[in-house]
Structure 1
Amino acid sequence: MNLILLSPQDIIAEGCAVVRDPRRLRHLRDVHRVTPGARLTVGLAGGQMGKAELTALSDEQATFHFEPLAETPPPALPVHLVLALPRPRMLARTLEHVTALGVKDITLLHTRRVEKSYWQSPELMPEKIHQHLVLGLEQARDTQLPDVTLRRGFRPFVEDVLPELLANRRGLVAHPGMAQTCPRALTEPTLLAVGPEGGFIDWEIDQLLAAGCEGMHMGPRILRVETAVTALLARLF
């Protein structure tokens, strides 16, 4: 936790915040091992960042005092990530990784090779998704939560949603066997589509390409989704 992310509920007065949830308290005590008087980086969810002084710490709460926060969080990546819904444990790690890297728009999509049971996972509960996003923000010292959208139908997404998303973005589909190699150092708004563990089926690739996306690959190695997404974002941006 490289940032204490404060929610509006944590602010009890101007320049004063109280943290009460067990996870953050445990991290302050057991990982940071802080004592009153320590200065830590804090940020207001959706807002600015800065330094705060820990003025009190107990088993029940931590109290911080700070001057007006004036530091801007790091810039977002210019990408909308369309990700075939991964296995639940992989989803948790992937959400944390892409949030730490600066992705702010995420669509989780059903495809043929996504197990239908994945959609019943507790990891898709709003509070669980929020938890993983917060962990990514705390890691990267960021305050801007991503928007996560669930799309259970591939065809409705491609026909009704994707054209609008591509109206002002370059569409890229990562898939083994594509002719084009992954581009580097993009600055333009981009949509990146990544398939499930077994990849997109041929029909899905055809539909994505017909909608205006470009197919590309990262070489002959077949990577796990969480590895592939991290590598793609690092190379693209």
Structure 2
Amino acid sequence: MNLLLLEDSDFISANRVILQGRRLQHLRAVQRVEAGDSLRVGLLDGLMGEGLITALDEHHAELDVRLDAVVPDKLPLTLLLALPRPKMLKRILQTISAMGVPRLVLLNSYRVEKSFWQTPFLSPEAIREQLLLGLEQARDTVLPEIIIEKRFKPFVEDRLPALAAGSLGLTGHPGNYPDCPRAVSQPVTLAIGPEGGWIPYEVELLEKAGLQPVQLGARILRVENAVPALLARLF
């Protein structure tokens, strides 16, 4: 935990907070802090700053906080991701949150197994938990927007063109396509497929919506590797 995330409900006064639960256990068992120690803190969807631990025991931690630092900029990106396997989804949510993705669309695809949509990891609470872990890692406070689209064709044909308007539209897909660009300076809408990739029909529909297929080379990557590889290359 590189940033202790605070929520409005933690505050007992303008500059004083009480912590319990997971964050308290992490402070005690992992960071091994003591009363008098200072920590980097941030208010969820707000500023960052410093927190001074004024009291600490097995039941609660009390901190005086000062919030006066801005958070890192987000990437100029909308990421479309075919819904991955549930265990992989948890890791990817942390990754995109840590890397500064402001908007993620979880999308259906022909190769997405129907059972994936039944996972409890798609509940709002479970998604939020993984996003918070990513923010704590990267020292950010602003949660990404998560959009769930279970119908590929209506989304791509009816909503994606407006969503991608004014951006560089790209579809990550192995094949005889141009190389993915590097270090772009404009907003990007990027689609990444499931294990096994998009089917040709999906690549065609994405292209009609303004997302041109690009590739990373001869190696075929897992989705959890392709996401950071493409983001690092683009930005």
Q: Structure 2 counterpart of 1:20, which letter?
A: Q
Structure 1 runs (4+) deviating above 4 angstroms are none
Unaligned runs of 5+ in 1: none
Q: Structure 2 counterpart of 1:43, which letter?
A: G
Task: Report what 1:116 is aligned to.
Answer: 114
CA contact (8 A) 1:178 1:215 kept: no
Task: Report what 1:58 is aligned to.
Answer: 57
CA drift of 1:169 comes to 1.4
Task: Report what 1:4 is aligned to.
Answer: 4
The separation in 2 between residues aligned to 1:146 and 1:33, in whole angstroms, is 30
SS at match of 1:32: coil
Task: Report what 1:43 is aligned to.
Answer: 42
Task: Report what 1:127 is aligned to.
Answer: 125
The separation in 2 between residues aligned to 1:93 and 1:54, in whole angstroms, is 31
Q: Structure 2 counterpart of 1:82, which letter?
A: L
Q: Structure 2 counterpart of 1:34, which letter?
A: V
- Number of matched pairs: 235
Task: Report what 1:103 is aligned to.
Answer: 101
Between 34-43 and 51-60, the greater mean CA deviation after superposition: 51-60
The separation in 1 between residues aligned to 2:185 and 2:134, in whole angstroms, is 22
Asked whether 1:149 is paired with 2:147, we answer yes
Q: Structure 2 counterpart of 1:234, which letter?
A: A
The separation in 2 between residues aligned to 1:220 and 1:11, in whole angstroms, is 52
Asked whether 1:29 is paired with 2:62, we answer no
Task: Report what 1:210 is aligned to.
Answer: 208
CA drift of 1:3 comes to 0.3
SS at match of 1:70: strand
Q: Cα deviations across residues 17-70 of structure 1 (Å, max 9, x unaligned)?
A: 11112x211210111100000000000001100011011112221111023x11
CA drift of 1:160 comes to 1.3
CA drift of 1:6 comes to 0.3
CA drift of 1:186 comes to 1.2
The separation in 2 between residues aligned to 1:166 and 1:44, in whole angstroms, is 31
Task: Report what 2:227 is aligned to.
Answer: 229
CA drift of 1:178 comes to 3.9
The separation in 2 between residues aligned to 1:187 and 1:132, in whole angstroms, is 29
Unaligned runs of 5+ in 2: none
The separation in 2 between residues aligned to 1:118 and 1:7, in whole angstroms, is 31
Task: Report what 1:70 is aligned to.
Answer: 68
Q: Cα deviations across residues 192-223 of structure 1 (Å, max 9, x unaligned)?
A: 10000110001000111111111100011111
The separation in 2 between residues aligned to 1:110 and 1:58, in whole angstroms, is 47
CA drift of 1:188 comes to 0.7
The separation in 1 between residues aligned to 2:213 and 2:28, in whole angstroms, is 48
The separation in 2 between residues aligned to 1:50 and 1:31, in whole angstroms, is 21
CA drift of 1:84 comes to 0.2
TM-score by length of 1: 0.97
SS at match of 2:71: coil
Q: Structure 1 counterpart of 2:5, which letter?
A: L
Which of these residues, 157, 165, 188, is aligned with residue 186 of structure 2? 188
For the structure 1 residues 186 and 168, does the alpha-carbon distance in structure 2 shift closer, same or farther, using more than 3 Å as the test? Answer: same
Task: Report what 1:174 is aligned to.
Answer: 172
Which of these residues, 137, 155, 163, is aligned with residue 165 of structure 1? 163
The separation in 1 between residues aligned to 2:134 and 2:92, in whole angstroms, is 10
The separation in 1 between residues aligned to 2:222 and 2:68, in whole angstroms, is 39
